[in-house]
């Protein structure tokens, strides 16, 4: 107990005075913004990543993502006390360590904790007394305590005495200009009250507001609840879109009017399917864990079914529009897919429904090309490997006007939608991107 008190007091003093060094493992859409925010707050920061190309890019002042300007990385490098490395032995140099690695689903739609487990195994040999380790990766309740903690304790050190273990769910929203890491409140839950206090001290130096909760499991549940809430409500508006569409009612007009009510309503919008790392994946982490307690998750699973069916509904709308308006079948039609990113104005393709839609269109005989100003070439993905290397067409009248139809999957601001309406005889719009374009008689909402 004496060692615990001494270790905690020493670490608290280092965190409060910003004399601590902070490490961030995983320099992607979550980890790199956190590393830069911690550095801007006054901490010395070491970023860790197994991708040596990314490490070299960051150390040269570059950014591996469109949504984070290279200037911010270059500024941090110029100020000093910030660097990236693939050498995990440097973990011994930091006082606090945040784990920001992916938590995907397996092919059987079950949690894949491989990245967390391997990261824990990489940390353990270099773990030292008095360090704080915080998991940020989205996962099911119990992961920090039941999976990560035993791996770290293989070091011979004990959580709560020799080192401190907490969970703080990431809340990044890439491409959202209204929020950044420092302005988004942070939930923190520790393995014990002392650790919760230490984690609150760390994040309290980096973000404007910290929300302590009772445990790591509570904090893990907070993140899942946030994203399940979104998934369920998106499923609802996707279903309403189908109903109102058959009635000749524009669902976007309905939502825009409904959101004028100052209480009791929160707007969500339909689309061609769910994308990004969080919403398509997180609900399944809870449904999987719920089986252990013999608790059905029918509501969550139904939302998943509705959202998973969205790409097929979009294709059916395209087929109907081609047939009724142009007497043309999908087989043999030339289709331009607008947007490979999962949401507007980002270069992030994680779980993008556009990938699924592209494959489904080609399976039905369509000749498909895509345009995305943020994704010039489709990178390698686990689920859609055959699409890797496909390149975006150029945005010119000559290149675009040869298509029978355009299908808008992502409503990037950089696209000239007036030109699209002029150049293509049929536009199927899943994002209401064409709402301000004149001459809408050849535009179909889907």
Q: What is the pLDDT of residue 2?
A: 45
Q: What is the pLDDT of residue 366?
A: 98
- Per-residue pLDDT averaged across 286-307, rounded? 94
Residues 381-399 have pLDDT tens digits of: 888 999 999 999 999 999 9
Q: How many CA atoms lie within 13 A of 197 on its CB side?
A: 10
Q: What is the pLDDT of residue 1?
A: 44
Which residue would you say has higher pLDDT here, 140 or 382? Answer: 140
Q: 195-208: string of b/e by CB count within 10 Å (b at 16+)?
A: bbbbbbbbbbbbbe
- Per-residue pLDDT averaged across 114-130, rounded? 98
Residues 345-372 have pLDDT tens digits of: 999 998 999 999 999 999 999 999 999 9
Q: What is the pLDDT of residue 108?
A: 78
User: Strand 186-190 and strand 210-212: pairing?
Assistant: parallel
Residue 102 token pair: 């992916």
141: exposed, middle or buried (Cβ count in 10 Å: 0-12, 13-18, 19+): buried
3-state SS record for the chain: CHHHHHHHHHHHHHHHHCCCEEEEECCCCCHHHHHHHHHHCCCEEEEECCCHHHHHHHHCCCCCCCCCCHHHHHHHHHHCCEEEECCHHHHHHCCEEEECCCCCECCCCCECCHHHHHHHHHHHHHCCCCCEEEECCCCCCCHHHHHHHHHHHCCCCCECCCEEEEECCCCCCCCCCCCCHHHCCEEEEECCHHHHHHHHHHHHCCCCCEEECCCHHHHHHHHHHHHHHHHHHHHHHHHHHHHHHHCCCCHHHHHHHHCCCCCCCCCCCCCCCCCCCCCCCHHHHHHHHHHCCCCCCHHHHHHHHHHHCHHHHHHHHHHHHHHHHHCCCCCCCEEEEECCCCCCCCCCCCCCHHHHHHHHHHHCCCEEEEECCCCCECCCCCCCHHHCCCECCCCCHHHHCCCCEEEECCCCCCCCHHHHHHHCCCEEECCCCCCCCCCHHHEEEC
Say whether pTM exceeds 0.95: no
- Per-residue pLDDT averaged across 301-308, rounded? 93
Asked whether the predicted pLDDT for residue 202 surpasses 50, the reply is: yes
446: exposed, middle or buried (Cβ count in 10 Å: 0-12, 13-18, 19+): buried
Residues 233-250 have pLDDT tens digits of: 999 999 999 999 999 999
Can you tell me the distance from the alpha carbon of 398 to that of 423, in angstroms, rounded to the nearest whole number? 9
CATH number for the segment(s) 227-306: 1.10.1040.10
Residues 6+ apart with CB under 8 A from 375: 340, 341, 347, 349, 392
Asked whether the predicted pLDDT for residue 175 surpasses 90, the reply is: no
Can you tell me the distance from the alpha carbon of 86 to that of 305, in angstroms, rounded to the nearest whole number? 40
Q: Which band of pLDDT confidence, cut at 50, 70 and 90, is reported for residue 413?
A: very high
**Average pLDDT of the residues of the chain:** 95
Residues 142-158 have pLDDT tens digits of: 999 999 999 999 999 99
- Per-residue pLDDT averaged across 402-428, rounded? 96
Residues 6+ apart with CB under 8 A from 335: 318, 361, 366, 367, 368, 369, 403, 404, 405, 406, 407
Question: Comparing 2-217 with 227-306, is the CATH topology the same?
Answer: no
CATH number for the segment(s) 311-445: 3.40.50.720
- Per-residue pLDDT averaged across 89-117, rounded? 94
Asked whether the predicted pLDDT for residue 96 surpasses 60, the reply is: yes
Residue 278 annotated in active site: yes
Asked whether the predicted pLDDT for residue 177 surpasses 60, the reply is: yes
Q: Which band of pLDDT confidence, cut at 50, 70 and 90, is reported for residue 105?
A: confident
Can you tell me the distance from the alpha carbon of 99 to that of 370, in angstroms, rounded to the nearest whole number? 35
Residue 228 token pair: 């399940």
Domain 2-217 is in which class? alpha beta
Q: What is the pLDDT of residue 4?
A: 55
- Of the residues 30, 32, 55, 278, only one is catalytic, namely 278
Phi, psi of 159, deg, nearest 5: -65, 140
Contact 168, 188 (CB under 8 A): yes
Q: Enumerate the domain spans of the chain.
A: 2-217, 227-306, 311-445
- Per-residue pLDDT averaged across 65-85, rounded? 95
Residues 6+ apart with CB under 8 A from 309: none
User: What percentage of the chain exceeds 90 in pLDDT?
Assistant: 88
Asked whether the predicted pLDDT for residue 254 surpasses 90, the reply is: yes
Q: Among 15-29, 123-137, 154-168, 269-283, whose mean pLDDT is lowest?
A: 269-283
């Amino acid at each position: 107990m004496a060692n615990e008190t001494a270790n905690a007091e020493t670490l608290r003093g280092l965190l409060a005075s910003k004399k601590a060094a902070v490490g961030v493992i995983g320099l992607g859409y979550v980890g790199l913004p956190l590393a830069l925010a911690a550095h801007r707050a006054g901490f010395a920061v070491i970023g860790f990543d197994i991708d040596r190309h990314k490490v070299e890019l960051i150390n040269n002042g570059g950014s591996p993502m469109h949504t984070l300007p290279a200037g911010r990385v270059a500024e941090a490098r110029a100020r000093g006390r910030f660097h990236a490395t693939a050498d995990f032995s440097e973990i011994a140099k930091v006082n606090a360590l945040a784990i920001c690695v992916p938590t995907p689903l397996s092919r059987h739609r079950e949690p894949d904790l491989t990245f967390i487990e391997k990261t824990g195994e990489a940390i353990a040999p270099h773990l030292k007394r008095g360090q704080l380790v915080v998991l940020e990766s989205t996962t099911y309740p119990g992961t920090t305590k039941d999976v990560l903690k035993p791996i770290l304790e293989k070091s011979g050190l004990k959580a709560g005495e020799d080192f401190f273990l907490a969970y703080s769910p990431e809340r990044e929203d890439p491409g959202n200009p209204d929020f950044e890491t420092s302005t988004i409140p942070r939930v923190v839950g520790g393995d014990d009250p002392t650790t919760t206090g230490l984690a609150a001290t760390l994040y309290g130096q980096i973000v404007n507001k910290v929300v302590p909760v009772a445990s790591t499991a509570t904090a893990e549940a907070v993140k899942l609840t946030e994203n399940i809430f979104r998934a369920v409500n998106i499923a609802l508006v996707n279903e309403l879109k189908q109903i109102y569409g058959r009635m000749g009612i524009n669902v976007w007009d309905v939502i825009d009017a409904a959101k004028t009510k100052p209480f009791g309503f929160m707007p969500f919008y339909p689309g061609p399917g769910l994308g990004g790392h969080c919403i398509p994946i997180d609900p399944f982490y809870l449904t999987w864990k719920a089986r252990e307690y013999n608790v059905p998750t029918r509501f969550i699973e139904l939302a998943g079914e509705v959202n998973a069916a969205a790409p097929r509904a979009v294709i059916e709308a395209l087929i109907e529009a081609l047939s009724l308006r142009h007497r043309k079948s999908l087989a043999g039609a030339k289709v331009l897919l607008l947007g490979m990113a999962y949401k507007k104005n980002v270069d992030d393709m994680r779980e993008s429904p556009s990938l699924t839609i592209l494959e489904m269109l080609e399976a039905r005989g369509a000749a498909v090309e895509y345009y995305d100003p943020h994704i010039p070439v489709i990178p390698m993905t686990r689920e859609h490997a055959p699409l890797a290397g496909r390149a975006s067409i150029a945005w010119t009248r000559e290149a675009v006007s040869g298509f029978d139809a355009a299908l808008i999957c992502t409503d990037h601001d950089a696209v000239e939608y007036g030109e699209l309406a002029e150049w293509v005889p049929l536009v199927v719009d899943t994002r209401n991107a064409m709402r301000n374009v004149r001459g809408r008689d050849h535009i179909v909402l889907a």
